[in-house]
């Protein structure tokens, strides 16, 4: 079975070694779409053997550019592989049961004050999240269009659909404590494109610190050991 992973990155060099370690276990290729990172992401990915492609406008977070990549990047794999994975740098697909053209995906929001050291799966606490149950893996040979909507939490796929298998999708943004998350949101806030502002996309990045702190505290109280 051949699997190819695509992921979108902006200044997420922290995740890249974990991502490479995880996906290289079952993926034949890993391809990074980089939104003009200013950290060491490109150099690190290249050193690890990850193919790097650049997209978007420097200095801008534009959800339409992200959507265009995720809706079309995988089409080049038709006739070449059995499954494609399309994720962000902090999203890790667990290929528990790869069957069907569109395996059912169960999403989890991983939550911890700690950061992993050797393997991303050292973090085992979190909660089920319907919002993160994204269709991040599918067979490119039977899906005509995946038709993600902005944020890629939902899709209007077309093609031959069978959902025999099941996979977990673990989202590791809320790890390492509140300050780490809030600093990330401040970085996004500074990069909001006119498109995002006009269409009210990424509005959660604009929330006040107190609001985000309340959300974080709720997450910490609701998290549990998942496995």
**Model pLDDT for residues 153-171, shown as the tens digit of each residue:** 999 999 999 999 999 999 9
Let me know whether 147 and 199 are in one domain: no
Identify the bridge partners of residue 33 per DSSP, sorted by sequence position. 8, 53
Interatomic CA distance for residues 149 and 68, integer angstroms: 10
Q: Which pLDDT score, from 0 to 100, does residue 199 have?
A: 86
**Average pLDDT of the chain, as a whole number:** 96
Q: What are phi and psi of 46, to 5 degrees?
A: -60, -40
Name the domain boundary from 158, 175, 192: 175
Look at 91-95, 117-121, 143-147, 203-207 and tell me which has the smallest mean pLDDT: 203-207
Query: pLDDT tens, 33-85?
Result: 999 999 999 999 999 999 999 999 999 999 999 999 999 999 999 999 999 99
Interatomic CA distance for residues 46 and 48, integer angstroms: 5
Let me know whether 69 and 124 are in one domain: yes
Report, as an integer, the average pLDDT of 11-31. 98
Query: By residue range, what is the domain housing residue 200?
Result: 178-225
Look at 86-90, 120-124, 203-207, 212-216 and tell me which has the smallest mean pLDDT: 203-207
What is the rounded (10 degree) CA torsion for 37, 75, 163, 32?
-20
Let me know whether 93 and 169 are in one domain: yes
What separation in angstroms does the CA of 183 have from each of 154, 178, 187, 203?
A: 27, 9, 6, 15
In three-state secondary structure terms, 16 is helix
Let me know whether 114 and 192 are in one domain: no
Let me know whether 109 and 195 are in one domain: no
77: left (phi over 0), alpha (psi -120 to 50) or beta: alpha
Let me know whether 130 and 186 are in one domain: no
Let me know whether 94 and 194 are in one domain: no
Is the separation of the CB atoms in 145 and 157 below 8 Å? yes
Name the domain boundary from 175, 199, 214: 175
Q: Which pLDDT score, from 0 to 100, does residue 203 have?
A: 77
Q: Which pLDDT score, from 0 to 100, does residue 35 have?
A: 98
Let me know whether 144 and 216 are in one domain: no
Interatomic CA distance for residues 52 and 43, integer angstroms: 9
Interatomic CA distance for residues 166 and 172, integer angstroms: 20
Let me know whether 66 and 34 are in one domain: yes
Let me know whether 105 and 138 are in one domain: yes
Name the domain boundary from 151, 175, 199: 175
pTM above 0.85, yes or no: yes
Let me know whether 128 and 101 are in one domain: yes
**Percentage above 70 pLDDT, the chain:** 100
Identify the bridge partners of residue 171 per DSSP, sorted by sequence position. 91, 109
Number of domains in the chain: 2
Interatomic CA distance for residues 65 and 71, integer angstroms: 10
With 90 as the cut, is the pLDDT of residue 192 above it?
no
Let me know whether 31 and 128 are in one domain: yes
């Amino acid at each position: 079975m051949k699997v190819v992973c695509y992921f979108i990155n902006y200044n997420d060099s922290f995740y890249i070694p974990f991502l490479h370690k995880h996906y290289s276990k079952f993926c034949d290729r890993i391809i990074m779409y980089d939104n003009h990172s200013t950290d060491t992401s490109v150099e690190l990915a290249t050193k690890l053997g990850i193919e790097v492609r650049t997209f978007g406008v420097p200095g801008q977070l534009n959800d339409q550019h992200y959507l265009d990549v995720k809706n079309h990047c995988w089409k080049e794999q038709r006739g070449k592989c059995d499954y494609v994975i399309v994720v962000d740098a902090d999203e890790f697909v667990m290929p528990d049961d790869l069957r069907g053209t569109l395996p059912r995906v169960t999403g989890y929001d991983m939550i911890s004050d700690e950061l992993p050291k050797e393997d991303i799966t050292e973090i085992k606490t979190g909660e089920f999240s319907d919002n993160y149950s994204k269709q991040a893996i599918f067979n490119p040979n039977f899906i005509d269009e995946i038709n993600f909507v902005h944020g890629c939490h939902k899709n209007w796929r077309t093609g031959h659909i069978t959902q025999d298998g099941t996979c977990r999708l673990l989202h590791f943004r809320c790890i390492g404590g509140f300050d780490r998350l809030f600093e990330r949101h401040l970085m996004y806030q500074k990069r909001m494109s006119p498109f995002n502002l006009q269409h009210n996309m990424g509005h959660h990045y604009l929330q006040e610190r107190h609001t985000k702190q309340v959300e974080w505290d709720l997450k910490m109280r609701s998290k549990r050991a998942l496995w």
